[in-house]
Structure 1
């Protein structure tokens, strides 16, 4: 199950943070079709956001075809995201975690790391090179 975390200093509205976290969980294979999202009450209790914020996020996910609300049963994942093999994702995630540890050891802060990653993704650097997992 997904545990939502809201960063009140991010500048991104809380409902969009919830949407992003569900989409990331779908891409990483942590959530899949048939999985149940936390209840609105549980999200409110764990994250401190307003119930209307959670409902807005769940409606947005429903409108995009990713989840469906079932009256009296909850909200369930309807479709997945991403087509990469979960084992490949796990290996790449571990490699990225090692890189992040190295970046932090070099004195980079989270915002520095985020800026570096975004710049590389935006530039498409070395696209297709060195992507192998082995």
Structure 2
């Protein structure tokens, strides 16, 4: 099950942070069709956001066709986003974790890592917001 984290200092609204985290969990294979999302009450308790914020995020995910709300049962994953074998994804994640450790040893901060990633993606023709 996904455990939500909300960065109040970040510029992204809390509901979009929740949406992003669900999408990331779907891409990484941590959530799969049929899995139940945490209840609104649980998310409010662990992340400290307002219940309306959680509901807004869940509605956004439902509108995107990724989850479905079942009356009295909760919100369940309806569709996945991951297209890569979970084992391959785990191997790539481990390699990236090693790279980040090397970057930290070299003195890079989050902004430096982000800048490098954006440059490499741009060189590949990928645009990120």
TM-score, scaled to structure 1? 0.91
Match of 1:132 in 2: none
Query: 1:78 & 1:45 partners in 2: Cα distance?
Result: 24
1:85-96 equivalent positions in 2, closer than 5 A: 85-96=85-96
Query: 1:119 & 1:9 partners in 2: Cα distance?
Result: 25
Unaligned runs of 5+ in 2: none
The offset of 1:67, in angstroms, is 0.1
Match of 1:58 in 2: 58
The offset of 1:10, in angstroms, is 1.5
Query: 2:78 & 2:122 partners in 1: Cα distance?
Result: 30
The offset of 1:123, in angstroms, is 2.1
Query: 2:123 & 2:64 partners in 1: Cα distance?
Result: 28
Match of 2:17 in 1: 17
Match of 1:71 in 2: 71
Match of 2:100 in 1: 100
1:43-54 equivalent positions in 2, closer than 5 A: 43-54=43-54
SS at match of 2:69: strand
The offset of 1:96, in angstroms, is 0.1
Match of 1:131 in 2: none
TM-score, scaled to structure 2? 0.94
SS at match of 2:93: helix
Match of 1:117 in 2: 117
SS at match of 1:7: coil
SS at match of 1:26: helix
